[in-house]
Structures are given as structure tokens and as C-alpha cells.
Amino acid sequence: MGILAVRADERVKDVRFTEETISVELMDGRTITVPFVWYPRLLNATSEQRLKWETCGGGYGIHWEEIDEDLSTEGMLRGARAPRTKVLS
């Protein structure tokens, strides 16, 4: 006899912002909230630029064309920050 598992729907339903955080509401009712400092492009973007998001990756990602930023719900759920870039001197 098999066990039926309920699968979480980690697709993006909505995205909201405060002065310091991004919150992503998922289709399954959960909300992920993380600080902008995890994502420097979002931290340095204007409020207007942040609002210009669209879903990508079949609904499992968020894309900002103007600031060249992409986030995935999987990465956010794992607590993955943006990779650090080395500063060349």
C-alpha cells in the first residue's frame, strides 16, 4: 500500500517589499521573507525598479530585467544568498 504525499507548490503567487525585506508569497500559502542585504542588486535598486518583477522558470523564479536579477523560490527556501563578487583592485 502506497502513501500519498502532498506536494508543496513553491511557485510565486506575489512579491512584496518593505524598506529592508522582500517577501515572496507561494501558491501553497507560505511566505518567504529575507533581507535585501542578501541580494545587493535589490538592495541598491530603487523602489520603482523592485516593483518591475515578473515570474520566470515556470513560476518558480522571479526576474527583474532592469537590474539583471533572478531569484528562485528553491534558493530562497534554502537561505541561499547572492554569490559574493570579488572586487578587482
Domains of the chain, residue spans: 12-78
Contacts of 71 (CB under 8 A, 6+ apart): 24, 39, 61, 62
User: CB-based burial of residue 26 (10 Å sphere; 0-12 exposed, 13-18 middle, 19+ buried)?
Assistant: buried
CATH architecture of the domain formed by 12-78: 2-Layer Sandwich (3.30)
- How do residues 13-23 score in pLDDT, each as one tens digit? 999 999 999 99
- To the nearest whole number, what is the mean pLDDT of the chain? 90
Rounded to two decimals, the pTM is: 0.84
Question: Across the strands, what pairs with 16?
Answer: 23
The answer to whether residues 69 and 42 touch, using CB atoms and an 8 Å cutoff, is: yes
pLDDT at residue 60, as a whole number: 96
